[in-house]
Amino acid sequence: MKRYTLSRRLALLAGLVLAGSGCNKFVDLTPSDNIVVNNFYKSESDIKLALTGTYSNLRGIYNDYYQFSELPSDNARTFGESESTRGIFDKLTWLPSTPAISGAWNDAYRTIAYSNVIIARIDPIPFALPATKTQYIGEAKFLRALMYFNLVRYFGDVPLRLTEITAEADAYSQGRTPVAAVYAQIEKDLLEAEAALPATYPAAADIGRATKGAAQALLGKVYLQEKKWADAEAKLAQLVLSPNPYQILPDLNNVFGLGHDNNAEIIFAAQYAASGFSEGNRFVHEMAPSPSGLTITSVPGNSTCVGTLDLYNAFEAGDARKTAYVGVYGAGDSYYWAKKLIYRVTQINEGDNDWPILRYADVLLMYAEALNNNGKTALAIPQINRIRTRAGLAAKPLTLTGPDTQLAIEQERRVELCFEGHRWFDLIRWGKDVSTMQAFKAAYSTLDPANNNLTPRPEARLLPLPSREIALNPKLTQNPGY
C-alpha cells in the first residue's frame, strides 16, 4: 500500500519552503514564511525538504507524460472533444509554439535545477550519518538523469547543465549539447546513483524514493534506447538473475488500481495522493471517455488519451490483459479506455493511484530484447514467457528465430505496457515509427477520418525546441523540419 507522496510546492529557486507531514502518507502541506535561498541550506533536514520538493515535480510531469509517449503512437488517440488541446500530439502536428512542449521543457529543467542545487550545497552540511548524505546525492542524481533521459528523447541535443544557476543570464548562456554527451552524463549519474542508493528503505514513510534497483532499471532502459545491447544485458541481468525485491505478481489484477501502488512489481513510480491539496493525478479526466458520465467515473472524462481499435485488436484471443487493462465504452465507434489507470474519484485532480515509471514486467522484456540482440535468443524466450504465462497465454517455443523473437517482444511490450508511456519510444528504437504510423493511417483513415491529418515523418521523432527558449537564448538552434 502506498505510504507517501511528495510535496509539489517546494520551489527551491524562488526560495519558498514548505514543511510538514501526513499521518500515513509523507505529504508536506504546512506552509512557512518565505526564506532566502542562501539562508536555507544549513541542515540535514533542509536538504531532505529540498529533495522532497524535487521529487514533487514528478507529479506534474507524469500527469502529462502520455501526450509525448503514447498519443503519437498507434496505441492512443484523441476524440473531437479533446482535439483542440491534445490533438496535435495525436496527429503529430506539434509546433515550436505548442504550450505543452514549452511546459515539458520547463518542468524538466526545473527539476534538474533543483537537483543541481542539492548536489552543489550538500557537501559542507553535517549529517548524523554519512551514508544518508551519500543517499541524498544519489537520489538527486537519479532524478537529474531521469529528466535528461526524457529531454534527450524528446528533443535530441539539449543544454547539459550540471551546476547551480545563480543568475538569470546564466540560464540562457548555453547551447545544445550533443546527444552522445548527454547520454554519457545520464549513464554516469545513474552508475553513481546505483552505488549510493539502498536496495530498500526500512521506514514505510520512505516508500517511493529512488532505490538501487530503480537506478539499475533506468540505466538498463537508457542502454537499450542507445542500442548498447551488451551493456543493457549486463545491467538488466542484475535485476533478473540476482536476488532483488521485485517480482511479477501472480494476479495481473493486483498490479494496478487503488490499494495496489508500490507493490513488488513497481520499481519506481510518480506518487500521487487524494489529499485535497492538488496532490492527486488527472488520469480519470484525461483518459476516461467524455460521454461516459457516471458509468465509468464520478467526474467527466475528456477523451484526451483513449486507446485505439488497433490496440484493442492487438490482444490475442484468451489474453486476460484485454479485459484487465482496457475498458470498452459505447457502441459503434467505441472508446477503449485505460482501465489499468482509471477508477472512480470525487474530483478531477484527486486521483490517488501512481504512475508506474519503471515496472518489473518492463525490465523482463527489456532484458529479453537485449539478450536477443546479443544472439542469445534461447535465453530471451523464457523471459517473454514469464509475461505471457501470467496473461493466460501459451508459452512461445524455444525454437523461435531471432527475428520472430523480436516480433514476440514487440507484441508483448505493446499489450503489457499499454498506456504506461513506452510505445512511442519503443517504435523509435526499433526504427518502426514512420512505417507503423503510415500503416495505421492507411488502415483507419476511413473508420476515423481524423487520421487523414496524421503526418508520420522522420522529423517527428524529435519535438521542436520551444520558440520561447530560442527567443531567450540565441545559442539554441531548432530541430530540422520546424
% of the chain surpassing 90 pLDDT: 73
43 vs 298, which has greater pLDDT?
43
Per-residue model confidence (pLDDT) at position 308: 95
pLDDT of 313 > 70? The answer is yes
Please give the mean pLDDT across all residues of the chain. 89
Which of 74-88, 184-198, 441-455, 461-475 is predicted least confidently? 441-455
**CB within 8 Å of 379: residues ≥ 6 apart:** 371
Per-residue model confidence (pLDDT) at position 83: 80
> Is 442 buried (19+), middle (13-18) or exposed (0-12) by CB count in 10 A?
exposed
Q: Phi and psi (nearest 5°) for 159?
A: -60, 130
To which residue does cell 524538466 refer? 108
Q: How confident is the model at residue 28 (pLDDT cuts 50, 70, 90)?
A: very low
Per-residue model confidence (pLDDT) at position 293: 67
Q: What is the pLDDT of residues 153-169, one digit of tens each?
A: 999 999 999 999 888 88
Strand partners, 31: 18
Q: What is the pLDDT of residues 356-397, one digit of tens each?
A: 999 999 999 999 999 999 999 999 999 999 999 999 999 999
28 vs 438, which has greater pLDDT?
438
What is the four-CA torsion angle of 83, 88, 89, 91, rounded to 10 degrees?
90
Per-residue model confidence (pLDDT) at position 225: 98
408 vs 24, which has greater pLDDT?
408
Q: How confident is the model at residue 123 (pLDDT cuts 50, 70, 90)?
A: very high
| Contact criterion met (CB below 8 Å) for 214 and 267 | yes
**Whole-model pTM?**
0.92
Average pLDDT over residues 205-231: 97
Average pLDDT over residues 418-436: 96
Per-residue model confidence (pLDDT) at position 148: 98
Tell me which range, 138-142, 293-297, 335-339, is most confidently predicted by mean pLDDT. Answer: 138-142
pLDDT of 329 > 70? The answer is yes
Per-residue model confidence (pLDDT) at position 13: 35
Per-residue model confidence (pLDDT) at position 346: 81
To which residue does cell 504506461 refer? 420
**SS3 state of residue 165:** coil
Q: In the 3-class helix/strand/coil scheme, how is 238-278 assigned residue by residue?
A: HHHCCCCCCCCCCCHHHCCCCCCCCCCCEEEEECCCCCCCC
% of the chain surpassing 70 pLDDT: 90
pLDDT of 22 > 50? The answer is no
Average pLDDT over residues 316-330: 95
Please name which of 458, 341, 473 lies closest in space to residue 65, comparing C-alpha atoms.
Answer: 341
**What residue ranges do the domains of the chain occupy?**
272-353
pLDDT of 4 > 70? The answer is no
How distant, in Å, are the alpha carbons of 67, 200, 282, 418 from that of 306?
11, 35, 14, 11
Per-residue model confidence (pLDDT) at position 15: 33
Q: What is the Cα–Cα distance from 271 to 6, expressed in whole angstroms? A: 7
Q: Grid coordinates standing for 480? A: 530540422
Per-residue model confidence (pLDDT) at position 369: 99
Q: What is the Cα–Cα distance from 321 to 245, expressed in whole angstroms? A: 24
pLDDT of 20 > 80? The answer is no
Q: How confident is the model at residue 459 (pLDDT cuts 50, 70, 90)?
A: confident
Average pLDDT over residues 242-261: 94
pLDDT of 104 > 60? The answer is yes
Q: Phi and psi (nearest 5°) for 318?
A: 85, 0
Per-residue model confidence (pLDDT) at position 27: 34
Please name which of 291, 366, 301 lies closest in space to residue 329, comparing C-alpha atoms.
Answer: 291
Q: How confident is the model at residue 480 (pLDDT cuts 50, 70, 90)?
A: very high
Q: What is the pLDDT of residues 398-426, one digit of tens each?
A: 999 999 999 999 999 999 999 999 999 99
| Type of residue at 251 | D
**CB within 8 Å of 439: residues ≥ 6 apart:** none
pLDDT of 10 > 70? The answer is no
The DSSP string of 85-139 is HHHHHHTT---TT-HHHHHHHHHHHHHHHHHHHHHHHSTTS--SSHHHHHHHHHH
